[in-house]
Structure 1
């Protein structure tokens, strides 16, 4: 987790010094700094995992839990200059029923909910808050054991200490976005059996959350600062180009449906709905950080039975550091990581993934042309699951036409470097069309496209139908 924490801390960048005022002009009035004080209420989603062991005599095939978590948090902040003091409590439901290998007959371990109460101490730089947490946590767990000589099941609510670190950003007057890592030291839960079986349950969590502040962070007369970005075009085409740019200064919430045909040995349909909020975070006048989250909701065909498993997959978070005044080439680089949040083992890797990501594009005339790439390696998670070394490249080409219409092609090329030769690459080709329009006063972008995998591993889908609806929130 050292690499993840280093990336988390790197996002908090010092604000650059402002240039001296010209002597012939009065200094421009600076907007008041963001006010973090007051009560707030919010929600979060993320992943949690343990790396403990279930020490069954002669069999240690448990490896730990990975699970999707989601819930609510509430708290109060008191700001004194650049210091912040606060208290926060949260409650998350946890969903993962993990069998003890090699077969479920040996038993299972699951968690139902996680609650924490902690004090927060932070450093504030206008809209940015870097904080640490210290407090306590409670976890409700279930376990069952069923192997020769031992048959037992039980439930337990245990408590432990909590330590965490996070970054929060005020992207609207009453709204903040946060990314947080927590560790709960729970110790062991020992079964009352002969022999006794100790279960290590120390828990790690990564959460992405949003908070509503009941007290505005800005005076009513102050509008959020904007960054100059695009040239003068028609309103529809300008908005279309921003929506097609992964690192544009534009808040958007895409809902992307990927329907993959002929998957698995029974030629079933796989459905992946990606919920992908994109939020620009301002560092200073010269730099932004673009936060891009991907939360998949999956219907996955079984490799053994003629049915599907439904649930949440592993959540991916990307951060792109990008200049606010780029030249002809628009670019961004940063970290990408994936937390093991799958609600069922078949829906995720069971691993914590981390790596670099980058995007580059140009926008000549009516075109938006570029590519997004990343590579992730497994750095934690269940030690019994296979390691991961995965590459992704997504070239995109868009041509914008009159009345908000556009043509689009954005195939997702992937490679599993650890797969057998001839089974590593998935390479699709195809494209489609879309349009920018409004539903009432809400700008949206909708498109539909089809792709055929000209190169693919055995048993993976051959065709994909992609449909996307994006809610766009341009500054007014």
Structure 2
């Protein structure tokens, strides 16, 4: 079992996994720091901007993870420890704003991707969840571009179940309904665009099989979702909307610096490939492709909150067969509180949590993780020197999967050159605190180069680097190739 954990530890190059076969999704949080800074730069929020208008119709998309403490309850036994899953879909709603108060209604529909074997043995049966739908009223408090809301309504979940046990053989499909309660925050980062983060609890009645004795499937569901919405009505007046982009062929120096600063006031969407060679007993290639939207939010004139989300798409070599398991891993969310006008020391700190969203047990931990994260850096001359730190512990999720306690430290050193070019090294050092002595640490060495440039009017940051794991757990791949392409959307 430890060999499986070891393969997953370096896969995402950010999280070291503990004992347990499903750890690749957690480690995908390496993306938090892989495009770390070369210099600090902060774009200022517009001065005396008019209040943001939240009223009107909107549509959007969401993604996240869900988990249940549900169980298959046969008298005297509890055979099913719950499920974790990736969820993703669409939503639509309407808001009415009255001063600092908001009232609205919202509906969403999400596909769910999970098939959970009973007792981890597929011959005994499966529990599958296919889709989730909710409709709820929303009430909130508005402060310019910020919205804090609560929601209350109902929802539906469609599930399949197969049970093959002595005296209880059943194959059924059903849709359960129940009540929904949730809360979240939303931020208008563009005149027509908002982003949100919310928690929802969907309480469902038990699903009882027609067998004798009857088997009750508890399906209460908890969800953490991030979303983005398009507002048909602009959030600001027409005169306050930003004008067109700059026509210069080369990005400005400020944009170059901001694109390499993880806590800059700059919207970006990085795509990062982590390729690990000769992984597992069959020397297969492991691929972790991270989608990493970054959205800065202005709390006030003195403080920013930077949201960094990691969505890993994983191809994980099997520890038993000469094949790979493909799918979505665990999604990681970091929030950095950072001064808008830092001094010589630039810093940000806040919470980090990982949602059990993997669609296969080999690709995630099955746990909800939580902990602190921070980044510190200085920028003397052309140099940037700093470190990113975090640690996460398991605080919920499937009770049948192993506990998690993982640490990450990423020192970074960058040198800026002319025309957007830079040299970089950012080894991601991880520790699996629950692993056996001598098998906890992964310490890579290496580096690479990158450049900030424009494709038409679209600023882009591209980087490539290679790393060798000088210290690593037994059986872990030694070499990794990391390549990143980030789309940049500076404040106009």
- The residue number in structure 2 matching 1:72 is 90
Instruction: Say if 1:392 and 1:413, in contact at 8 Å, map to a contact too.
Output: yes
CA deviation vs aligned residue, 1:346-381 (integer Å, no higher than 9, x gap) = 000000000000001111111222111110000100
- In structure 2, the residue matched to 1:350 is 366
Deviating above 4 A after TM superposition, structure 1's stretches of 4 or more consecutive aligned residues are none
Are 1:297 and 2:313 an aligned pair?
A: yes
Q: Partners of 1:400 and 1:236 in 2: how far apart?
A: 13
Deviation at 1:236, TM superposition (A): 4.3
Q: Is structure 2 residue 456 aligned with structure 1 residue 448?
A: no
1-structure distance, mates of 2:116, 2:322: 22
Does residue 187 of the first structure (1) align with residue 205 of the second (2)?
A: yes
Aligned length: 441
Distance 2:417 2:48 in 1: 40
| Pairwise CA distance, 1:187 | 2.1
Corresponding residue number in structure 2 for 1:143: 161
> CA separation in 2, counterparts of 1:376 and 1:240?
32
Contact 1:260 1:461 (C-alpha < 8 Å) held by counterparts: yes
CA contact (8 A) 1:413 1:426 kept: yes
Q: Which residue of 1 aligns with 2:256?
A: 240
Could you tell me how far apart the structure 1 residues matched to 2:266 and 2:381 are? 20
Partner of 2:473: helix, strand, or coil?
coil
Instruction: Select which of 86, 90, 102 maps to 1:84.
Output: 102
Describe how 1:167-246 pairs up with structure 2 within 5 A.
167-223=185-241, 235-246=251-262
Q: 1:197/1:369 Cα in 2 relative to 1: closer, same or farther (>3 Å)?
A: same
**For structure 2, which runs of at least 5 residues remain unmatched after alignment?**
1-45, 243-249
Residues 241 and 368, structure 1, Cα contact 8 Å, conserved in 2: no
Structure 1 residue 404: deviation in Å? 1.1
| CA distance in structure 1 between the aligned counterparts of 2:168 and 2:476, rounded to whole angstroms | 41
Distance 2:347 2:471 in 1: 29
Contact 1:368-1:397 at 8 Å conserved across structures: yes
What secondary structure, in the 3-state scheme, does the structure 2 residue paired with 1:124 have?
strand
Aligned equivalents of 2:210 and 2:220: distance in 1? 20
Specify which of 264, 275, 283 is matched with residue 267 of structure 1. Answer: 283
1:101 equivalent in structure 2: 119
- The answer to which of 85-94 and 370-379 deviates more is 370-379
Contact 2:353–2:369 (8 Å) recurs in 1: yes
Aligned-partner Cα distance in 2 for 1:247–1:30: 23
TM-score by length of 1: 0.91
Question: For residue 3 of structure 2, what is the aligned residue in structure 1?
Answer: none
> 2:181 and 2:251 mapped to 1: Cα distance?
48
**Higher relative contact order, chain-length normalized (CA < 8 Å, sep 6+):** 2
Quote the residue 2:9 is aligned against. none
Q: Are 1:274 and 1:297, in contact at CA under 8 Å, matched by a contact in 2?
A: yes
- Quick one: distance in 2 between partners of 1:207 and 1:29? 32
Equivalent residue number for residue 429 of structure 1 = 445
| 1:375 paired to 2:411 | no
- Cα distance in 2, alignment partners of residues 128 and 340 from structure 1: 27
Q: How far apart are 1:241 and its partner, in Å?
A: 2.0
Determine the C-alpha separation between the residues in 2 that align with 1:449 and 1:347.
24
Q: CA-atom RMSD, angstroms?
A: 1.5
- For the Cα contact (< 8 Å) 2:251–2:454, is it kept in 1? no
Task: Name the stretch that deviates more: 466-475 or 363-372.
Answer: 363-372
Q: Distance in 1 between matches of 2:301 and 2:222?
A: 36
* Uncovered stretches (5+) of structure 1, i.e. residues with no partner: 1-27, 225-233
C-alpha separation between the residues in 2 aligned to 1:356 and 1:263?
30
Name the structure 2 match of 1:470. Answer: 486
Deviation, structure 1 residue 32: 1.9
Match of 2:137 in 1: 119
Instruction: State how far apart, in whole Å, the 2-side matches of 1:42 and 1:242 are.
Output: 28
Deviations along 1:147-181, whole A, 9 cap, x unmatched? 22222110001100000001000000000000000
Q: Distance in 2 between matches of 1:466 and 1:102?
A: 34
